[in-house]
Amino acid sequence: MAVKGITEKTLANGEKVIYVRFKYKNKNYGVRNFTKIFKNCKTVKDAQKKLREVKDRIDEGKDPFIVSKDDLDYYFTKTYNENIASELWSEATAKNYKSYYDKHIKKAIGWKKLSKITYANLDAIIISLANRKARSKNTLKALLNPIFKKALKLKTINENPADELEHYTVGKREDLDKRLREEDYLIATRKLYKAVALYKPKIGLENELNTYLYLLLMTAHRYGELLKLTIEDVYLDEKKIVSPAPITKTREDYHYPIPNECIEYFKTIKSGLLFPNLRAYSMPDYFSKLVALSEIKIFRNKSITAHDTRRLLLYIMIKNCKIDSLLADYCLEHKPKGVIGHYTSFGYKDKKEAYIKYWNTIRN
């Protein structure tokens, strides 16, 4: 579709380039090769987006066609790309951070040189977040602190203004018994287990999503971690999964058994991700639909989430299966601390036996 002022042309060498000509604030800007100036500008749609950014930079009093290598936008983009490439950030984390940066940081200080950003600049952003939850305020420091710390080590800046930001206390999630009306957590979990077989996802996701939900419910491992598993992490002969350190929260390998409900699907995967068509940002919706199918009773305006499967597993292992609480904790990769952690040791065999006992209990 043609867009006024934006033209796509093919050069003699076959390269496609985007030319842009526009007028803004009573000033005419001649034809510019956006593909040459901005490396990622390869389509008319890219040019439209970049043109909006160019106008924002004009509003900030900056030359829009000089790409600075010392402003916050540059460092954030560099960090963003590095963390995606190294898988330090999951797809969902990257998406959330990019959205947060664009909404709360970019216009306020994205154009400023890193060395010119002060605590006062950051405090002004915190003030603008006054009506938002503690987690949103803490994200500002979580996002900017690594950038400033690295720049400090490289002597690009002399001090880290993010060091002075306050950490806001995040409210503890309500206990399950204040959200879940079911008096017995085992009954609730059995309802969830039975609901997986009733779940009818859209065509093409049937086996994939149902297997994923079984794995989530029966191992209680974090849903983002499960989505990053590949068939190379699965040892079918031993019915074992080894989540590699780069995708786990503690950056350690996690070993845990595979429920029989997942085996047949895993056999169909020849290479790559176990769940290639599932996305982290869709998980809350998938899980809420599973909860609705299960007909679990929940108090009005309350909810249970995929993360609550960890609470359910711990409770049932300890209360119903009579499994040692330290071993139940170990199944979720929680390590005992202090003297107990020094002298207590469980192995994979203990973990496997605990899981099997838990599975048999919720299947019944």
What's the domain count of the chain?
Answer: 3
Query: What 3-state DSSP class applies to 180?
Result: strand
- Is residue 243 domain-shared with residue 325, that is, in the same domain? yes
Q: Which domain holds residue 79?
A: 72-164
And the tokens for 144?
A: 């900017």
- Is residue 31 domain-shared with residue 122, that is, in the same domain? no
C-alpha to C-alpha distance for 362 and 238, rounded to whole angstroms: 22
Residue 171 lies in a domain: no
Classify residue 231 by burial, with Cβ atoms within 10 Å: 0-12, 13-18, 19+: middle
- Is residue 295 domain-shared with residue 222, that is, in the same domain? yes
**319-334: average pLDDT:** 91
Residue 268: which residues within 8 A CB-CB, separation 6 or more? 207
Report the largest interatomic distance among the alpha carbons of the chain, rounded to a whole angstrom.
77
Residue 326 lies in a domain: yes
pLDDT band (50, 70, 90) for residue 67: low
DSSP state of 276: T
Are 32 and 7 in contact by the 8 Å Cβ rule? The answer is no
Residue 66 lies in a domain: no
pLDDT at 39 > cutoff 70: no
pLDDT band (50, 70, 90) for residue 338: low
Residue 78: which residues within 8 A CB-CB, separation 6 or more? none
Tokens 């002075």 -> residue: 164
- Is residue 47 domain-shared with residue 181, that is, in the same domain? no
> In this predicted model, which residue has the larger pLDDT, 84 or 342?
84
Are 291 and 188 in contact by the 8 Å Cβ rule? The answer is no
Instruction: Name the residue type at position 123.
Output: D
Among residues 104, 133, 164, the one where a domain terminates is: 164
Residue 197: which residues within 8 A CB-CB, separation 6 or more? 210
* Of residues 213, 208, 202, 246, the one with CA closest to residue 228: 246
DSSP state of 3: B
C-alpha to C-alpha distance for 79 and 96, rounded to whole angstroms: 14
- Is residue 40 domain-shared with residue 123, that is, in the same domain? no
Q: What pLDDT was estimated at residue 341? A: 52
- Is residue 148 domain-shared with residue 208, that is, in the same domain? no
Query: What 3-state DSSP class applies to 82?
Result: helix
**317-339: average pLDDT:** 84
Highest mean pLDDT among 61-65, 167-171, 263-267: 263-267
Residue 109 lies in a domain: yes
* Of residues 347, 333, 194, 332, the one with CA closest to residue 261: 194
| CA distances in angstroms from 208 to 67, 215, 267, listed in the order given | 44, 11, 12
% the chain with pLDDT above 90? 46
- Is residue 126 domain-shared with residue 180, that is, in the same domain? no
C-alpha to C-alpha distance for 34 and 46, rounded to whole angstroms: 9
pLDDT at 96 > cutoff 80: yes
Query: What 3-state DSSP class applies to 364?
Result: coil
Q: What pLDDT was estimated at residue 205? A: 85
Using a cut of 0.95, tell me whether the model's pTM lies above it: no
**67-95: average pLDDT:** 82
pLDDT tens column, 178-225:
888 877 899 999 999 999 999 998 887 889 999 999 999 999 999 889
Tokens 């970019």 -> residue: 106
- Is residue 18 domain-shared with residue 87, that is, in the same domain? no
And the tokens for 279?
A: 């996305």
Q: What pLDDT was estimated at residue 323? A: 95
